[in-house]
Copies of this chain bind each other. A is one copy, B any other.
Amino acid sequence: MAEITATLVKELREKTGAGMMDCKNALKDAEGDMDKAVEILRKKGIARASKKADRAVNEGRIEAYIHPGSKLGVLVEINCETDFVAKTDDFLTFTRDVAMQIAASAPLFVKREDVDQATIDSEMEIYRAQAKDQGKPDNIIDRIAAGKLDKFYSEICLMEQPFVKDPDKTIENLLTETIAKLGENISIRRFIRFKVGE
Interface residues of A (CB under 8 A from B): 58-66, 70-77, 79, 86, 190, 192, 194-197
Contacts and interface: CB of A to CB of B under 8 A. Distances in A.
A12 to B, nearest CB: 31
A197 B62 contact: no
A14 B197 CA distance: 31
A179 B194 CA distance: 23
A196 B73 contact: no
A192 B192 contact: yes
B194 A59 contact: no
B59 A63 contact: no
A45 B132 CA distance: 63
B71 A66 contact: no
Contact of A77 (B59, B74, B194): B194
Contacts of A66: 62-64
Contacts of A190: 194
Given A59-B197, A194-B190, A197-B58, A75 B71 contact: no
5 contacts: A58-B197, A62-B66, A63-B70, A64-B64, A74-B75
A30 to B, nearest CB: 38
